[in-house]
Each structure stands twice: as C-alpha cells, then as structure tokens.
Amino acid sequence: MKLYDYFRSSAAYRVRIALNLKGLEYEAVPVHLVKDGGQHLQSAYRAINPSALLPSLQDDGATVTQSLSIIEYLEETHPFMPLLPHGALDRARVRALAQMVACDIHPITNLRVLKYLTGTLGVSEDAKTAWYRHWVREGLAAIETQLAHAPETGRFCHGDTPTMADCCLVPQVFNALRFSVDMAAYPTVERIGAACSELPAFAAAHPSQQNDAE
Amino acid sequence: MKLYDYFRSSAAYRVRIALNLKGLEYEAVPVHLVKDGGQHLQSAYRAINPSALLPSLQDDGATVTQSLSIIEYLEETHPFMPLLPHGALDRARVRALAQMVACDIHPITNLRVLKYLTGTLGVSEDAKTAWYRHWVREGLAAIETQLAHAPETGRFCHGDTPTMADCCLVPQVFNALRFSVDMAAYPTVERIGAACSELPAFAAAHPSQQNDAE
C-alpha cells in the first residue's frame, strides 16, 4: 500500500496510526504542502485526489481518499486489531468522537483555511491564532465532556484498546500543542493522549519520525 | 426514535433523508439555531449533545451524535434499504464522497463559523458570502470530478440506488443554491440532485416540509 503523506498533515497522521496499529506495511509518498506552492495543488496529485487534500491511500492500484474513509476501509479489509468495537451503539460512539475531531475541529483550522484568513481576508497573525485556538478549545471541551462522563471511557477513548477515536484525537492534541493551547482544561484528553504515546504504533506515526520531517 | 432537528440544518437534513430512505418513523424535536440566542447553546441541549451541534438521535434512551455516525448506526441497526454498497472499495468511495461534503465543505461554511467571521473578525457581508461560495465551489468541483469520471456513478452518486453520499450531497446543493452558487459548473452533481429530488424520501426531508419550517 502507498500512502500519500506529509509529516505534519493531521489527517495523514491519523491513517499512519491506524496502519501501524494493524501492523500493515506501507510506502509513504511525501507530498509537500508548502514547497513549490504546495505539491498537493499540482496536477500530478490532483489526478490521484481531485480534492487536492492529504492523505490518499493506494491499494492494489485503487485509490481511497478521506482519512476516516481510509480507516474504515482498512478496518473492513484487515479486521484484525479492530479499530471499532462490536456493538452498534459503541461503534457509533467511537465514530462520533472521531468526527468531533475530523468534522468539528480540523476542517476549520487546517492550512488552507488559515491561508484564506491571512491572505484573502487580511486577518492579522494574532487574530489567526485566536481563531485556531477558539475552534480547538470548543472542540476539545466537547470531547472532554463526552469522555469524562462516560463509563465506556477506559485507558483509551473507548475501553482499554485504541480505536479510530484515538487515531483522530492524538494528531489533534499534537496540533493543539503546536499552537500552545493550554491542555489543563482537558485532563481526560491529556491522559488518553499520554497513554497512546506509550504505544509504538502511535510513536512511529508521530510527525517527527517521518522520513520527510523537517 | 427522536431526532433533534432544525429544518435548515444541513447535517440534520442528511439524517432525515437516511431515516426516510429506510422507512423509519421518528419524532422530530425542533432545536432553533437562532431563537433565544440559539437553543442548541442552552444547557438542556448541551446535556444531550456536548458539542451543541445538530443533529442528535435518541434511540431507546441512548443518544447518537454526528450525522455520519448516526447514518452508519442506522445502517448497522436497520440494514434493509442499504445506504452503503457491498464491496470495501465501493463502500470507501461512498464514504469518501459523503466526507467531501461533511468534512471539506460544511464545517467551514456553517452558521457558527459565519458568525465568527462577521462578529469576532468584523468581516463584511460581501466577504462572508465570498468565503461561503469559495469553499462550496472548491468542494463541489472536487466532487464533480470524482463523479463525472467514474464508472461507478449511476443515476445516483454510486450506482442506481441512493447511498450515504446522496444523503450528504443533496443538503449541500440546497445550501449552495441558497447562497446563489452557480451550479452550471457541476452538471453531474446537478443531475444527481434532480434525480434525488424525485424520490419521496428526499422530498419529505426537504427543509420546507418540516414542521418547524419558517
């Protein structure tokens, strides 16, 4: 399998964790989001993924896009080391936690949106940082509430083995720390992030461990 | 089942379509996104959904949040009239198309983001509308490319029966038209939208047909 990847892409980071948790070998193909005006915007990559977003996974010649769709695909084709629990309600809880990152936080705070704010709208660097922190805090506060008050929460977001929810949460925590968001208000998120970082699958997926890291 | 709903919420509209396609009865509980400073922001609704976002589904006392998670839950608990195809790659394609709406367009253009732009950032109404159209156009262009060049595309996004992808696409088209986005550049999206609107399940889920419509 080939993963079109960028060390700092939060959505690619999710998929790297999932691949590692399942013990699947893959070749990382770096697509630089800044160099050459953004290699993801060039026609070579657009031919693979018309959204011009990372990641994309190629498996046996077929391309799968969108990080959550890729993780569901890996789950269906490689069911060992499941990233979703069994019961329908439990699965819904894990998917909802994943989407609280992938739909409610990350899309509003990713690079293309920040560039539109400072470029097209002429927003100041300070106002951009405030925007970033606002949406991260809103989102993490909701996740903290879901996690802190639920008997389903264990060592990880759902029970004592990592799931798709942890694959999404850890990259979001990494991003929050990059923008100096104070994590003290989200103790359960912080505790789970620390538990994840002890696992080799998460450690090996960390941006600093990628071949294209800068 | 109870659906916490708002006639104009795009994410709730997706779930209404899914419920109707599966022929499932539900009680709509309106949560007004504007009245009383936003009823979704009040503690009564936050106790149901800490994200303070619509929709939420209650089934037998349990709450499921996040529209795509709700649709997957309905698919697993009510597998008749499937909203996902069989093969893993086909399922990945449908999920990716759904996420191209639910992750790449809608989160950046929803009400709370537009309010931050005009309120906190003091962006003009014109610049807000330009923002809206920019992300909708980017997203629809990518979806058009995925749909127009794929043998899997049929009368609907994937084959000749509606899927989760159509549940997401139709509300996004509705929103695009509200903001006068010219749909001529997206002929496949437009054709599929028209095909969907002929089905009673889609027609009954339309914002204008809800009890709380204004």
**A68 and B121 in contact by Cβ < 8 A?**
no
**A100 and B51 in contact by Cβ < 8 A?**
yes
Contact A167, A135 (CB under 8 A): no
Residue B127 lies inside a defined structural domain of this protein? yes
Closest CA to A3 of A200, A214, A205: A205
Closest CA to A174 of A147, A148, A203: A203
A164 lies in the same domain as A122 = yes
Residues 146-175 of chain B whose Cβ lies under 8 A from any Cβ of chain A: 146
Rg, chain B, Cα only = 17
Among B46, B81, B116, identify where a domain stops. Answer: B81
Interface test with A, best of B118, B121, B124, B168 (most A CBs within 10 A): B121
Q: How many CB pairs under 8 A join A and B?
A: 113
Between B88, B99, B134, which is nearest A66 by CB?
Answer: B99
A140 lies in the same domain as A112 = yes
B99 lies in the same domain as B147 = yes
Chain B positions in Cβ-Cβ contact with residue A76 (cut-off 8 Å): 88, 91
Chain B positions in Cβ-Cβ contact with residue A116 (cut-off 8 Å): 131, 134
- What the block records as the tokens of A10 is 């939060």
Residue A195 lies inside a defined structural domain of this protein? yes
A123 lies in the same domain as A47 = no
- What the block records as the tokens of B144 is 């058009």
A64 inside 8 A of chain B by CB: yes
User: pLDDT tens-digit profile of A68-109?
Assistant: 999 999 999 999 999 999 999 999 999 999 999 999 999 999
Mean pLDDT of B17-27: 98
Closest CA to B85 of B174, B167, B164, B170: B164
- What the block records as the tokens of B141 is 């262009």
Mean pLDDT of B147-156: 96
Q: Residue B63: which residues within 8 A CB-CB, separation 6 or more?
A: B48, B49, B56, B57
Report the pLDDT value the prediction gives residue B54, as an integer from 0 to 100: 94
User: pLDDT tens-digit profile of B166-191?
Assistant: 999 999 999 999 999 999 999 999 99
Helix intervals (H) in chain A: 10-21, 43-46, 67-77, 88-102, 106-109, 111-118, 125-148, 164-178, 187-197, 200-205
Report the pLDDT value the prediction gives residue A149, as an integer from 0 to 100: 83
B100 inside 8 A of chain A by CB: yes
Report the pLDDT value the prediction gives residue B209, as an integer from 0 to 100: 97
Nearest residue on chain B to A144, judged by CA atoms? Answer: B50
B107 lies in the same domain as B190 = yes
Closest CA to A96 of B20, B48, B73: B73
Q: How confident is the model at residue A65 (pLDDT cuts 50, 70, 90)?
A: very high
Residue A208 lies inside a defined structural domain of this protein? no
Residues 120-149 of chain A whose Cβ lies under 8 A from any Cβ of chain B: 120-121, 123, 127, 130-131, 134, 139, 141-142, 145-146
Mean pLDDT of B103-130: 96
A76 inside 8 A of chain B by CB: yes
Mean pLDDT of A140-168: 97
Helix (H, G, I), strand (E, B) or coil at B185: helix
Mean pLDDT of B16-34: 96
**Percent of chain A with pLDDT strictly greater than 70:** 100
For strands A27-30 and B27-30, give the pairing. unpaired
Question: What length is written for chain B?
Answer: 214
**B108 and A104 in contact by Cβ < 8 A?**
no
Nearest residue on chain B to A135, judged by CA atoms? Answer: B113
| Count of domains forming chain B | 2
Q: Residue A207: which residues within 8 A CB-CB, separation 6 or more?
A: A7, A8, A13, A174, A213
Q: What is the mean pLDDT of chain B?
A: 96
Which domain range does residue A122 map to? Answer: 88-202
Distances (CA, A) of A98 to A61, A131, A159, A210: 27, 21, 15, 23
Residue A211 lies inside a defined structural domain of this protein? no
Among A81, A109, A125, identify where a domain stops. Answer: A81
Q: How confident is the model at residue B101 (pLDDT cuts 50, 70, 90)?
A: very high
**Percent of chain B with pLDDT strictly greater than 90:** 94
Among A81, A99, A115, identify where a domain stops. Answer: A81
Report the pLDDT value the prediction gives residue B37, as an integer from 0 to 100: 87
Between B88, B131, B146, which is nearest A50 by CB?
Answer: B146
Mean pLDDT of A58-70: 96
Residue A37 has pLDDT above 90, yes or no: no
B38 inside 8 A of chain A by CB: no
Report the pLDDT value the prediction gives residue B149, as an integer from 0 to 100: 83
B32 lies in the same domain as B77 = yes
